Structure 1
């Protein structure tokens, strides 16, 4: 019998860790290849980790709510036959360190664990309360004392303090009274903490007996954290422009039934708008960038993020990869597939990775315009307002007249650190021009 190490798979270029949310298999259970063993959650999406082999689960190395790094072994599966495609069962940390030259990846994990232990010696498990290495490291980096940590409410299993609990506490720490248990000799350790000192004091919210207390969801907390972080990172500026989409409205009405019969897909306005945005990004490549320190990274691929609403009211942004390479049929199929899987919570980690520019349709909820927050590390986001039937001036060769037109506002938020007003305005104007120049005789 051989043993296979099930590792946390790579889930995208910006995802380095995940939280275990539930184990679907227990020790002793038989597992088939491609069968889900556990469920995980990242800061962007929930997913399952399948087994790569047939066998029996003999060891679980992490508990629910533990944070696991990409590449770490999370379980051991016993398989029949030889050792092809398998690895030895987990060894002691000292053994892993000794095998640095033989198994670099495993040795690197060992070094990380050892380093974590060395940096968290000041924080210990208190009574029945267990603190993960990640929580201990966060406490040390933020200057949180043992007394403070013991007082943080935990939302994890059996009241365990999770990463999200720590983030929530750190955000509101400026308004929290310091525990009396902090001794004077600990003061020098707390002095270097600048984040807490620089944040304004927030008055506590008092709930009356008639108010309902609703706990934020895990995803809700993460979205809130990312939105605040984005506003603090980028200098947000907005440009607005109105587009006449009468030609598109009438064309879609004419072809949508035939399109559905032929392709089996509903032709919505979204893929049409995405096509126009992809063309504009190709015209203005400096909108398809990211900023890293003082370095600008020009993205080779145009990967459009498509903000989608979930059933619980939260948002997720699946990504249309190489959007400028798709024709309208391909774009429609991709948009519908991602939207459907987003609603059904079936998106995979790779579906939400690698976006270079984002589009959000605020018109879905009746808004005519909005000022969306940039999806980091991108530098721009476009909000599509509701399409309205309005009276407007129509210019013709015979003169101007008042007519009923279908119009919408485009709201462009961009990072003024690297995108000036001229570029931001020219880009959204290009989107408008692509929409207004739509070919009413276009074949589907």
Structure 2
């Protein structure tokens, strides 16, 4: 049975082995930790996919390999207490044989040297390259990763003199608590009411050149989605005036309110709160595991998941989103927090975009894009049926969905129900 470098996010292309918890000849149970790895987004442990004896370790501590590369092999036909056979059929010698006589001894024999190596090589290639380019002594950089490991973001913070890294941008759900500023209105252009003061979009590199490994990984996942799903996009318009009042009173962004309304609507339309793998359409009718797309700038894209989001209030969702976003920036997310989502929200609205066609996060069947809330004139009808023109805070709800799993009428009904929830939000 192969142990491979796991996928830990849509833009993770490679990982570094930090430590082997087991060595050749050691017995291991299924789901027992066999190694610790590190990526630019997550530091985590790798569990054994099966019960057996470690037959081969292919990737050394400190080596960085692509996602999917075989790191070790487990002999599943072995038995506890049996000596591990070598390739020529003889009983293994040295450390492997010692492991049979005294479990764990092989790990101790091999482990000390490799632990020393892991300490000396705990920096990823990206971090070492940045340190070389900017003449940085990495021993002076405070690490925030597992065991104090220094990440790319730690180096960036060190280069900025210890200042906090700017908030995430583009698809980030995170908005700082400080007051927002208003853009000056321009002729013939709609005015975006709020733009986070410190959220700035990074300019593309002027040098151009080949795509980075991160961009290649994202591209591969996006192309896979477009080639696999029968992607369609449905767009609805919603009056956010009542949400505007409620969020200002609560001193929160739009996103927690939109997320709460989306969760309630998904429970009414569960075929969108679902995954599709092959011909297996798994519908989640009682629980919403909500993914929030988070852009890390040059660090790529990751989708933390709020499990059982239906149990959280607007205030609870706001706190959870901020927590996940903050920990995403410092490589503190766990594997469980980036997997198992049933529906995703992406939120580029704070940067002024008004319409988009998001790419589905497979194997999910739907993704909602929440766009900028813009004041503009609309026709309103009073209780007597009289029409008039008024200024309202409006937004577009853009949802991409998989036509293999549902039809356009279902998607339109979902957005209509979501719009009604937003437009009738209670104001206390």
What is the TM-score normalised by the length of structure 1?
0.56
Query: Could you tell me whether the CA contact under 8 Å between 1:8 and 1:49 is conserved in 2?
Result: no
Query: Could you tell me whether the CA contact under 8 Å between 2:358 and 2:368 is conserved in 1?
Result: yes
Which structure would you say has the larger Rg? 1
Q: How does 1:139-178 map to 2 (within 5 A)?
A: none
Distance 1:39 1:292, change over 3 A: closer
Aligned to 1:47: 43
Aligned to 1:262: none
Cα deviation for residue 390 of structure 1 reads 1.1
Distance 1:72 1:335, change over 3 A: same
Aligned to 1:254: 249
Cα deviation for residue 225 of structure 1 reads 0.0
Cα root mean square deviation, aligned = 4.1
Distance 1:48 1:405, change over 3 A: same
Aligned to 1:294: 279
Aligned to 1:424: 411
**Equivalent in 188, 207, 212 of residue 212 of structure 1:** 207
Cα deviation for residue 212 of structure 1 reads 2.5
Aligned to 1:65: 64
**Equivalent in 379, 392, 398 of residue 378 of structure 2:** 392
2: CA distance, partners of 1:335 / 1:291: 26
Aligned to 1:228: 223
Aligned to 2:295: 309
Query: Could you tell me whether the CA contact under 8 Å between 2:13 and 2:217 is conserved in 1?
Result: no
SS at 1:212 equivalent: coil
SS at 1:409 equivalent: strand
Query: Could you tell me whether the CA contact under 8 Å between 1:20 and 1:40 is conserved in 2?
Result: yes
Cα deviation for residue 429 of structure 1 reads 1.2
2: CA distance, partners of 1:313 / 1:67: 16
Q: Which has the higher contact order (CA 8 A, sep 6+)?
A: 2
Query: Could you tell me whether the CA contact under 8 Å between 2:306 and 2:320 is conserved in 1?
Result: yes
Give ranges in structure 1 of 5+ residues lacking alignment: 1-6, 26-36, 52-58, 75-85, 99-154, 158-210, 257-266
**Equivalent in 10, 16, 19 of residue 21 of structure 1:** 16
What is the TM-score normalised by the length of structure 2?
0.57
Query: Could you tell me whether the CA contact under 8 Å between 1:362 and 1:369 is conserved in 2?
Result: no
Distance 1:368 1:18, change over 3 A: closer
Describe the superposition over 1:367-413 as per-residue Cα deviations: whole angstroms up to 9, x where unpaired: 10100011100111111110001122222225332222101000111
Cα deviation for residue 219 of structure 1 reads 2.5
Give ranges in structure 2 of 5+ residues lacking alignment: 21-34, 48-55, 74-79, 93-125, 129-205
